[in-house]
Amino acid sequence: MSQTQLPDDDYIIGASEAEIRRLGQQHSIWRETALAGWRRAGLAPGMTVLDMGCGPGHASFDLAQLVGPTGHVIAVDQSGLFLDAVNEGAAARGLTNIETLKTDLANLNLVAGSVDFVWSRWVLSFLANTAELLKRLDAVLKPGGVFIAHEYGHYETFGFYPGDPVQDRFIAAVQNSWRAFGGEPNIAKQIPEIAADMGWKVTGLTPHVFTTRPGELIWEWPVGWLKSDGIDRLVELGFLSAEDSAKFHAMVDDRAKDPASLLTTPMVVEVICQKPRD
């Protein structure tokens, strides 16, 4: 099946000022989980960190503060709008150890053996060739370097209760949109095998899935995307009908008003791998 194409600096979910704000809320909700994962992965002061698919830089700012003035963060993204936000945010925070690099990850080209630590969150699911990218990262990582990813491992856990048939059509549309652009919504399941083929050691596999109610913090993670342009973007790209979009919007609004509603989030798997020491 041929792959659909987007402009070089665009995303399936779009890049906009509204998306920058949504990503800020998303990082705030997931920040503690990210910090815990970085600790498990061995992040330390003085490291050079690659923030792969950094978006507007919310994780980059935390990483830069943690590695300190002797450390360095390379924030990579294909969106100029997002990288402008990284540069502005770094200046506002007085962070001088963040470097931005505008490139498609398929063309990532960094000095061999120059990076201690690679961070990826909700990036690999959208890529056409994860194995090829990880081979590039193998060259970039120093011996003993660490790769940590928070990626979807079982997207099908996403859903509201009570459910509705339109919910299944929406989930299918999301997954179909990623696959049409060459991605894989459950990429976390494939990373350990790819890593093992390269000789990396998988040192951690941690699932993260939550069940939440309206008014709770984690509820706003997926619902924040649904309230933004997430559903309409699927219509724009032709993966969901306008009729189903309207029905799904109405269902989300109804569930948010019902305190007895439940929402189970898509399963995110934390995968930690280490490149062998010589």
Residue 276: count of CB within 10 angstroms of its CB? 12
For residue 25, list its beta bridge partners: none
Tokens encoding 119: 């961070």
Which CA distances in Å does 79 have to 12, 15, 74, 249? 12, 7, 15, 28
Strands 159-161 and 262-264: antiparallel
Q: Which amino acid is at 27?
A: H
Write the CA distances from 205 to 40, 47, 89, 202, 268, integer angstroms.
Answer: 11, 23, 32, 8, 10
What is the rounded (10 degree) CA torsion for 64, 68, 74, 75? 10
Integer angstrom CA distances of residue 70 from 115, 142, 162, 195: 14, 17, 51, 29
Buried b / exposed e along 60-97 (16+ C-beta atoms within 10 A): bbbbbebbeeebbbbbbbbbebbbebbeebbeeeebeb
Residue type, 240: L
Q: Which residues contact residue 107 at a Cβ distance below 8 angstroms, ignoring those fewer than 6 apart?
A: none
Contact between residue 110 and residue 82 where contact means Cβ atoms under 8 Å apart: no
Return the axis-axis angle of helices 242-257 and 165-180, rounded to nearest 10°.
120
Helix or strand run (H / E) with residue 211: strand 211-212
What's the rounded Cα separation, in Å, for the pair 183 and 19? 20
User: Which CATH number applies to 17-274?
Assistant: 3.40.50.150
**SS3 category, 138:** helix
Q: N- to C-terminal Cα distance for the chain?
A: 41
Tens-digit pLDDT string for the chain (278 aa): 334 443 444 444 445 787 888 888 899 999 999 999 999 999 999 999 999 999 999 999 999 999 999 999 999 999 999 999 999 999 999 999 999 999 999 889 999 999 999 999 999 998 988 999 999 999 999 999 999 999 999 999 999 999 999 999 999 999 999 999 899 999 999 999 999 999 999 999 999 999 999 999 999 999 988 887 778 889 999 999 999 999 999 999 999 999 999 999 999 999 999 999 97
Longest dimension (CA), the chain: 57
pLDDT digits (tens, 9 = 90+) for 100-135: 999 999 889 999 999 999 999 999 998 988 999 999
β-strand pairing of 72-77 with 141-154: unpaired
Using alpha carbons, select from 78, 12, 5, 18 the residue that is nearest to residue 233.
Answer: 12
- pLDDT, one tens digit per residue, over 59-82 is 999 999 999 999 999 999 999 999
